[in-house]
A and B are shown apart, each in its own frame.
Chain A
Amino acid sequence: MTPENAVMTDVEMVTVVIDGFDVTVPKGTLVIRAAEKLGIQIPRFCDHPLLSPAGACRQCLVDIEINGRAFPKPQASCTIPVENGMIVKTQLTSEVADKAQKGIMELLLINHPLDCPVCDKGGECPLQNQAMSNGRSESRYEGVKRTFEKPVSISSQVLLDRERCVLCARCTRFSEEIAGDPFITLNERGALQQVGIYEKDPFLSYFSGNTVQICPVGALTGASYRFRSRPFDLVSTPSACEHCASGCSMRTDVRRGKTLRRLAGEDAEVNEEWNCDKGRWAFKYISSKERIAGPMVRGEDGELHEASWPQALARAAAGLKGKRAGVLVGGRSTVEDAYAYAKFARVALNTNDIDFRSRLHSDEEAVFLASRGVNFNVSYRDLDKADHVVLVDFEPEDESPIVFLRLYKQVRKRGLKVTTLSPVLSRGSEKLGAAIVEDIASISGLSEKSVIVVGERAAEVIGQFTSVVKLAQSTKAKVAWIPRRAGEVGAVVAGAIGNLLPGGRPVADPAARVDIASVWGVESLPAAHGKATWEILEAAGDGRLDAVVIGGVDPLDISSEALGQLLGASTFVLSLEISHSAITAIADVVLPVAAVSEKSGSFLNWEGRPRFFEKAIADSLTRSDLRILSMLADEMGTPINLPSSQAAAKELQSIGEWDGAKADAPSVSPATLTAPSGDQAILHSWRQLLDLGTLQNGEPNLAGTARAAHVLISANRAKSLGLSNGDLVKVSTARGSITAPAQIGKISDSAIWVPRNSIGSQCIANLGAASGLVVTVVKA
């Protein structure tokens, strides 16, 4: 017996009779769910296993009798828990229940328009299906149907056709219970009851797309999919989300070689049935006009020219062979691609100068990642069971939305204690009821059931990882590292960083190098500690490196000087990119690569759980990074033998996890920050979920719900500057400034916060830094 089953037996079980069959279920189970166990389908609209019971649609009426006493009228089976001695008769055995259901269906259909032929939901519509299975075959209604103006924009992404609505309240319950954004509600009463938004609070929820997916009729539709297709036109492929390290299971629907929509997949262990709007709607970057069609080579005239694959590969090989080169992978590669980069750097370029971190980073972080190994031993389930969750430089709603949903679920359910190490109480933290702590030493109340979640921004604070590891050691709490990008965890495991080989093997360990060298069939592997991203860029700038291979990297994610450094000292730049970017503009050779929907592979989410995805666009002609690197390595005469992602996955699996000694944990003492005075403040920022990220290109409806740039200041600072909400504030450094409306919020008096990469507020480009910097704040 597995432990899960053992837990199940502790629960009190109840036996009921449904349609003459006995079924034993845990106490508290709803009748409708017990019937499902027997395979009896009771029609329903409002019932959803992850939402609280509402009994709003009345479609699931059944006859119920308890200990010989029958309810006088049919009851809604989605609201009544089972009890001992209960006898339930569904529409299959009770004429009364059947007639009641048919009656409800008839009432629901009275005002439901005959939009089915043109409705997005037609073909996958619970109302359509259940009207066929449990409704009358003919309409008796001869009046005029009630109509509303259609469609109404709930937000720029979600449109509402009010006459299609059956008032099941799934969308409003989701927004309130799951997302914590109660911005939509049922207005009016009677026949005019309708879903509506508040006049002052727009429906700016990061999770609004889920309401479209769970709507049991076509009342809520996504603006970008509306009227584009019907379910039976689509070819669906199970996929994984490429946007963050939460690792949502997804479904990608393709028609005529174009992705038309993406839906949240079902995975009870990870995303349950939800995803965020970025994962759902940010996929148009694949079909952007900036997409690179074919290989390009910079000619004598300094311009990029289209070239054939053999030409481009020959030129790239000439630029790399025997040269001192570094590799920047970018944080969005699949595990297999990252592995190909890692192998390519060691075998073809004979260097450990490889780094996947295309953001602010530190050596302390690299040491921390090496000391963690590749078996993280922390999962969503630990968050579910935790007694205390500490967020260190991590903003779940913006940086890993499904982690936020999981935390919020526990906060609602049992008042999970959340502490955030940040000077800012963000909207997300507020929803989690988080306590603000500014000093890691003052965090208390941790046990072995607690989880410390550390985000990628910890690398921006000197000594932060060291303090986290110390705190975890002293309290036995688990540590979860949740980076923002989907490829980062996989890149660590694949060894796409200077101090690690695949499987978490330290480069410094000779036995680890021999291990990998024998798998790869090479004499030896380079032993020198590899350079980090910033060192690679610096070395490229001053001539210590001759060439750089760059995957999906935006130089402005790293520093304001990064692009300039790449231009220096006639560095040869090979860019493997999806679309034209700042890097391709300066590259000597540009090789186009496949986007996620055009290839198969896997990501590792923050738990280290593999998230496999298949090629969704079957007839795509693009090639994945690893295929190109393999061809390039062949051209250079140092083959890496990775013909497909399956081959790479198999090889990486055969290498396995390192069983030797792990690297030591980081030991860096924290820096003391100079306290700001007067108009000065310490800058804090993070990336909002919806911002100027390159993968959100080409989707104006999604951008329409992004939170606008603002400068978050404390009440005291606002008072001293004479500011009120909405007044313009200018935040400046020697390099430049950001001017945005002020928002007075809960933030430490010495700090201010701005979004890192939103319209009108791009920290690295505008201010030259993203956090920890002393800036001047004045009224604009």
Chain B
Amino acid sequence: MNPMDNELTPRDNEFGLAKAAAESAPILDQSAGSFFKQLQGFWVTFIMQFKKVNTVQYPEVKEPTAERFHGRHQLNRHPDGLEKCIGCELCAWACPADAIYVEGGDNTPDAQFSPGERYGKVYQINYLRCVFCGLCIEACPTRALTMTNEYELADESRSKLIFEKEDLLAPLRAGMLMPPHPMYPGSTDTTYYKGEVPGADPSQGATTNV
């Protein structure tokens, strides 16, 4: 069998020159039917004047994106404020554009940033490289990394488009404490992953006024 001879190979009789030549022939036809066909084309243009305009006056007007739009990343937190990122670097490995750089660090009893042994010490996403494919989000084993709908990612220098961990971390919500702080009393990392930690306990540190 000819290796070229598969269904993806275009053939002369379908898309080839011979067919194009055959289709272009009627344009030369000077009959009344041909004149009507030309009017049909002008009519489409004419009728568009009375249709609703789709143009949005960005940036004065901003429309919400689709719900699952791939925008800027966010590093999420557990309900008590501890970071979800464990510094495993799987996002960096999944990234086809090599836009993510992660360095993990050890949690110590004095400085606990995430439940368990490790946390993301350095976390950078280079938005000059990111293609917003979302493979990093699929790779993340703790749902630490998700994408927001924020799409306004332009700036005047290259360095400003390398987002650091502070830029990516989700803001503290009510009931959260700024890490480092100890884990929820009586909890393990499993408790956190099962979603059984309701929010920061007073014993984890000074109460937040958020």
Q: CB within 8 Å of B: which residues of A?
A: 117-118, 147, 151, 226-228, 230, 233
Contacts and interface: CB of A to CB of B under 8 A. Distances in A.
Going nearest first, the 6 A-B pairs with the smallest beta carbon separation are A118-B88, A227-B118, A117-B90, A117-B141, A227-B104, A118-B141
B87 interface: yes
Interface of B: 86-90, 93, 104, 117-118, 139, 141, 190
A227 B87 contact: yes
6 contacts: A117-B88, A117-B141, A118-B141, A151-B117, A227-B104, A227-B118
Given A227-B87, A227-B88, 18 more contacts: A117-B88, A117-B90, A117-B139, A117-B141, A118-B86, A118-B88, A118-B90, A118-B141, A147-B190, A151-B117, A226-B117, A227-B104, A227-B117, A227-B118, A228-B104, A230-B89, A230-B93, A233-B89
A230 B104 CA distance: 12
B130 to A, nearest CB: 20
A67 B86 CA distance: 58
Most chain B CB within a 10 A radius of its CB, from A117, A118, A151, A228: A118
A118 B91 CA distance: 12
A170 to B, nearest CB: 24
A228 B104 CA distance: 7
Nearest to B190: A147
Contacts of A233: 89
A226 B104 CA distance: 11
A226 to B, nearest CB: 8
Contacts of B93: 230
A116 to B, nearest CB: 10
SS class of chain A's interface: helix, strand, loop or mixed?
loop
Nearest to B141: A117
A320 B186 CA distance: 68
A226 B139 CA distance: 20
Contacts of B86: 118
Contacts of B139: 117
A227 B117 CA distance: 9
A226 B89 CA distance: 13
Contacts of A118: 86, 88, 90, 141
A569 to B, nearest CB: 50
A138 to B, nearest CB: 20
Contacts of A227: 87-88, 104, 117-118
Nearest to B93: A230
A228 B118 CA distance: 10
Nearest to B140: A117
A118 B102 CA distance: 14
A153 to B, nearest CB: 12
Contacts of B89: 230, 233
Contacts of A228: 104
A233 B98 CA distance: 13
Nearest to B118: A227
A568 B127 CA distance: 61
Nearest to B103: A256
Contacts of B88: 117-118, 227
Nearest to B188: A149
A681 to B, nearest CB: 44
A507 B40 CA distance: 108
A147 B191 CA distance: 13
B53 to A, nearest CB: 49
Contacts of A230: 89, 93
B119 to A, nearest CB: 10
B190 to A, nearest CB: 8
A147 B88 CA distance: 21
A226 B90 CA distance: 15
Contacts of A117: 88, 90, 139, 141
B108 to A, nearest CB: 13
A228 B103 CA distance: 8
Nearest to B101: A256
Nearest to B104: A227
B120 to A, nearest CB: 11
B124 to A, nearest CB: 13
A227 B93 CA distance: 14
A261 to B, nearest CB: 15
A118 B139 CA distance: 11
A751 B69 CA distance: 79
A541 B104 CA distance: 51
A118 B117 CA distance: 12
Nearest to A147: B190
A147 B90 CA distance: 23
A364 B125 CA distance: 65
Nearest to A119: B88
B89 to A, nearest CB: 8
A117 B88 CA distance: 8
Contacts of A151: 117
Most chain A CB within a 10 A radius of its CB, from B86, B104, B190: B104
Contacts of A147: 190
